């Protein structure tokens, strides 16, 4: 199966794909990890990739001894703290309340500074007694207030008010110990990003380095669906899964249909017919080949030709027949069609952009953004929560698989990944390329911002593992509003069913005299009650928990 066929895109001519250029919407633009679009030099377009590697052999995987060894040089060690990390889509952040999240093992809080008209990201701990500021509020002066003792902080993290300090006493609120660490942050592509170093020398980090920019998201001809969800498995498993399109028709069977490529001639097998004969007085069973039939599975899987280009510390690119995949370390993974050559031709384009965030050992978070320039009118009339119903089902369908897989990786040791896993086909190229990157440049370890227990948590029950409310709904303004409205409607329907029955009892023999009228009233009560039960089931499955049993798909 051609992995990019999942995007349902027309084939376009393929431009060269240097790492920084792979996400450009036009040939003259490239994805810029510094945040801007600039022309690709002609010499760079014509020159072959400096480092082009095949991630995996087509017959057998390379042994551990054949894999490139981790570089002993400190210059080639990936610096996890010198990166930008996405916090959340801005559409899911309420400017009237603080929001707390864990990123890279660091507890942070985002809040909107009305005075400056900007979002801020602080340490999620009040310097007084370390109470979480994410449980606080925005006061009437637009400051972040800790609700434990009422300390207030401005947009720079400086303490502006301590209620317990006498007004005529020493200005204890000006002491540096009363300040909260404030991290550099920026809104880009409608997502709030922050840089996990609060030291003064990193205050102007935006002038040196910006988050990866996806130009299509800001293009007025495109519309984008955003989403966010916490996942019960680690960052490396999340990245590996998103770079593995071969699993889609199997793990997501019944949700995403596989699209079979051209017939693979090697899959023809003889159709054998058995016939009985009597030769020399002895009964024989003779097998005769009659014709050849095509062997395939109904899910639509098949060989995928993949290669890896521009593999280095910044990530890699994998060109496909209809587009490309790209991994930009540490968070960004995207799948896109090749950009059209002619600006005047409006070629339908859909991109799958994922931002993968390490949260803690055995925990990660994904933010997705799906920009497209087709079906724009449909986007404007479809509520975002309705998109999330299907997108969460896709995530649910492989959560348990990946959760268990991670624990088996941990038992074998990530340093032994190439020995524990058998990855003989080209379809695994991007998975192997990521594992090589993770091992070579990070020694199979995440550079956490705070000390972490290097142990995955125990496996909970399946309903806890695949729950949607805390992992998604409370973080999504659209789904939270839809859940609230549906619960209210459920109550209305239940009250209506009881009221209709009560009306029938009171009005019997007066207003409701005929059998037809009584039947109509009873039917209305039954319909209201049935609708309330259906709605309750819909709420449970789409906002709390829905099991996914692969055997019955």
Q: How far is 354 from 341, CA to CA, in rounded Å? A: 25
Bridge-based pairing state of the strands 182-183 and 159-161:
unpaired
| CATH code, 196 | 2.102.10.10
Tell me the backbone φ, ψ of residue 352, rounded to 5 degrees: -110, 110
Residues 113 and 164 placed together within one structural domain of the fold: yes
pLDDT at 53 over 60: no
> Over 60: is that where the pLDDT of 238 sits?
yes
Confidence of residue 366 (pLDDT cuts 50, 70, 90): very high
Q: Is 59 exposed, middle or buried (CB count within 10 Å of its CB: 0-12, 13-18, 19+)?
A: exposed
Q: What is residue 348's predicted lDDT score, i.e. its pLDDT?
A: 83
Judged by average pLDDT, the poorest of 251-255, 300-304, 319-323, 403-407 is 300-304
405-442 burial: b if 16+ Cβ within 10 Å, else e = bbbebeeeebeebbeebebebbbbbbbbbbbbbbbbbb
| Residue range 255-261: mean pLDDT, rounded | 66
Can you give the CATH number for the domain in which 352 is found? 3.90.380.10
H or E stretch at 227: strand 223-231
Any bridge partners for residue 36, and if so which? none
Check residue 453 and give its pLDDT. 82
Contact predicate 210/378, CB 8 Å: no
389 and 448 within one domain: yes
Please state the rounded mean pLDDT for residues 221-232.
96
Q: Which of 208, 231, 253 delimits the end of a domain?
A: 208
pLDDT band of 168, cuts 50, 70, 90: confident
Contact 15, 45 (CB under 8 A): yes
User: What is each CA distance from 24 to 67, 74, 337, 338, 340, in whole angstroms?
Assistant: 32, 31, 10, 9, 10
Q: Is pLDDT at 228 greater than 90 in this prediction?
A: yes
Same domain for 203 and 119, yes or no, is yes
Max Cα–Cα distance, the chain, nearest Å = 120
pLDDT above 80: residue 270: no
Mean pLDDT is lowest, of 292-306, 379-393, 529-543, for 292-306
- Number of domains within the chain: 3
Q: Mean pLDDT lowest for which of 144-158, 458-472, 519-533?
A: 519-533
pTM of the model: 0.82
| Digit-coded pLDDT (tens) for 180-215 | 999 999 999 999 999 999 999 999 999 999 999 999
Q: Are residues 487 and 369 in the same domain?
A: no
Considering the domain architecture, whether residues 135 and 241 belong to the same structural domain is answered as: no
pLDDT at 45: 39
Q: Is residue 59 part of a domain?
A: no
pLDDT for the residue 259: 58
What pLDDT does 255 receive? 87
pLDDT at 551: 85
The total of other beta-carbon atoms located within 10 Å of residue 537's CB is 10
Q: Residue 134 is part of which domain span?
A: 85-208
Q: Hey, is 209 helix, strand or coil?
A: coil
Q: In which band, very low, low, confident or very high, does the pLDDT at 266 lie, cut at 50, 70 and 90?
A: low
Based on the fold, state whether residues 281 and 296 are members of the same structural domain. yes
Q: What is the pLDDT of residues 446-497, one digit of tens each?
A: 999 998 887 888 999 999 999 999 999 999 999 999 999 999 999 999 999 9
Confidence of residue 13 (pLDDT cuts 50, 70, 90): very low
Residues 334, 417 share a domain:
yes
Token pair, residue 225, equals 């669906």
Measure the CA–CA gap between 520 and 68, rounded to whole angstroms: 77
Count CB neighbours of 383 within 10 A: 12
- Mean pLDDT over 246-266 rounds to 73
Four-residue CA torsion sign, 64, 68, 72, 75: negative
Rounded CA-CA distance 26/339 in Å is 5
> How many residues belong to the chain?
553
Query: Does residue 246 lie in a domain region?
Result: yes
pLDDT at 265: 52
The β-bridge partners of 183 are: 121
Task: Tell whether 4 is covered by a domain.
Answer: no
Answer yes or no: is pLDDT of 57 > 50.
no
Strand, coil or helix: what is 98? coil
Query: What is the average pLDDT score of the chain?
Result: 82
Is residue 203 domain-shared with residue 220, that is, in the same domain?
no
What are the two backbone dihedrals, phi and then psi, of residue 249, each rounded to the nearest 5 degrees? Answer: -70, -10
pLDDT band at 501 (very low <50, low <70, confident <90, very high): confident
Q: Region 93-108: what's the mean pLDDT?
A: 96
Model pLDDT for residues 406-440, shown as the tens digit of each residue: 999 999 999 999 899 999 999 999 999 999 999 99
In the sheet that holds 185-188, the strands lie side by side as: 85-89, 191-194, 185-188
| Residues 6 or more apart whose Cβ sits within 8 Å of residue 353 | 214, 217, 332, 333, 334, 368, 369, 370, 371
Q: Is the same domain home to 314 and 177?
A: no
Please check the confidence at residue 371 and state whether its pLDDT lies above 50.
yes
Convert the pLDDT of each residue in 60-91 to its tens digit: 344 333 344 444 444 589 999 999 999 999 99
Q: Considering the domain boundaries, does residue 63 fall inside one?
A: no
Which pLDDT belongs to residue 17? 41
| pLDDT tier, 16 (very low <50, low <70, confident <90, very high otherwise) | very low
- 3-state class (DSSP) for residue 282: strand
- Residues 232, 367 share a domain: yes
Q: Residue 5 falls within a domain, yes or no?
A: no
pLDDT at 278: 40
Q: How many CB atoms lie within 10 A of CB 290?
A: 9
The tokens for 11 are 């084939």
Asked if residue 311 and residue 202 are part of one domain, the reply reads no
Angle at 334 between CA 548 and CA 473, to 5 degrees: 45
pLDDT tier at 268, thresholds 50, 70, 90: low
- Residue 6 domain-assigned (yes or no): no
Q: Which of 157, 190, 208 is the last residue of a domain?
A: 208
180 and 226 together in one domain: no
**What mean pLDDT do residues 33-40 have?**
39
3 state DSSP class of 82:
coil
Q: How many CB atoms lie within 10 A of CB 14?
A: 16
> Considering only 271-280, 467-476, 484-493, 502-511, which range has the smallest mean pLDDT?
271-280
Domain for residue 33, yes or no? no
Buried b (16+ CB within 10 A) or exposed e, 209-248: ebbbbbbbbeeeebbbbbbbbbbbbbbbbbbbbbbbbbeb
Q: What is the pLDDT of residue 102?
A: 97
Mean pLDDT of 97-113: 97
The verdict on residue 199 lying in a domain is yes
Asked which of 161, 188, 208 is the last residue of a domain, the reply is: 208
Q: What is the pLDDT of residue 269?
A: 53
pLDDT for residue 340: 65
Is pLDDT at 178 greater than 60 in this prediction? Answer: yes
């Amino acid at each position: 199966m051609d992995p990019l066929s999942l995007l349902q895109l027309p084939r376009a001519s393929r431009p060269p794909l240097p790492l920084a250029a792979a996400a450009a919407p036009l040939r003259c633009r490239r994805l810029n990890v510094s945040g801007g679009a600039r022309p690709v030099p002609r010499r760079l377009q014509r020159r072959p990739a400096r480092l082009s590697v095949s991630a995996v052999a087509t017959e057998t995987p390379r042994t551990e001894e054949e894999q490139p060894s981790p570089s002993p040089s400190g210059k080639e060690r990936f610096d996890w703290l010198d990166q930008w990390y996405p916090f959340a889509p801005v559409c899911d952040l309420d400017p009237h309340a603080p929001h707390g999240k864990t990123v890279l093992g660091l507890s942070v809080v985002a809040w909107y500074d009305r005075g400056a008209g900007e979002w801020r990201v602080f340490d999620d701990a009040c310097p007084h007694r370390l109470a979480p500021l994410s449980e606080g509020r925005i006061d009437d002066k637009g400051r972040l207030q800790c609700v434990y003792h009422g300390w207030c902080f401005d947009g720079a993290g400086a303490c502006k008010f301590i209620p317990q300090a006498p007004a005529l006493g020493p200005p204890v609120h000006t002491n540096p110990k009363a300040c909260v660490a404030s991290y550099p942050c920026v809104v880009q592509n409608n997502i709030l990003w922050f840089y996990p170093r609060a030291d003064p020398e990193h205050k102007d980090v935006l002038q040196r380095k910006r988050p990866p920019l996806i130009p299509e998201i800001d293009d007025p001809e495109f519309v984008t669906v955003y989403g966010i969800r916490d996942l019960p498995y680690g960052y490396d498993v999340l990245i590996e899964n998103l770079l593995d399109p071969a699993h889609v028709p199997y793990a997501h069977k019944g949700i995403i249909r596989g699209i079979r490529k051209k017939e693979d001639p090697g899959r023809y097998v003889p159709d054998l017919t058995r016939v009985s004969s009597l030769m020399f007085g002895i009964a024989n069973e003779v097998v005769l080949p009659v014709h050849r039939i095509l062997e395939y599975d109904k899910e639509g899987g098949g060989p995928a030709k993949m290669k890896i280009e521009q593999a280095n510390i910044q990530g890699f690119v994998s060109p496909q027949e209809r587009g490309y995949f790209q991994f930009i370390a540490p968070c960004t993974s995207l799948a896109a069609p090749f950009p059209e050559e002619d600006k005047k031709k409006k070629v339908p384009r859909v991109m799958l952009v994922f931002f993968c965030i390490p949260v803690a050992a055995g925990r990660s978070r994904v933010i997705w953004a799906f920009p497209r320039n087709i079906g724009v009118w449909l986007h404007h009339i479809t509520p975002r929560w309705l998109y999330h119903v299907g997108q969460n089902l896709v995530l649910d369908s492989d959560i348990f698989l990946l959760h268990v897989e991670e624990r088996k990786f941990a038992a074998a040791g990530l340093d032994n990944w190439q020995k524990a896993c058998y990855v003989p086909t080209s379809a695994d190229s991007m998975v192997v390329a990521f594992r090589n990157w993770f091992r070579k440049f990070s020694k199979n370890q995440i550079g956490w911002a705070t000390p972490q227990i290097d142990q995955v948590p125990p496996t909970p029950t399946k309903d806890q593992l695949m729950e949607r409310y805390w992992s998604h709904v409370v973080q999504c303004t659209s789904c939270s509003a839809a859940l609230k409205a549906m619960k209210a409607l459920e109550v209305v329907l239940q009250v209506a069913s009881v009221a209709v029955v009560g009306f029938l009892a009171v009005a019997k023999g007066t207003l409701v005299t005929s059998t037809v009228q009584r039947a109509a009233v009873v039917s209305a009560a039954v319909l209201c009650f049935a609708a309330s039960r259906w709605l309750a089931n819909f709420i449970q499955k789409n906002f709390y928990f829905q099991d996914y049993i692969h055997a019955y798909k």
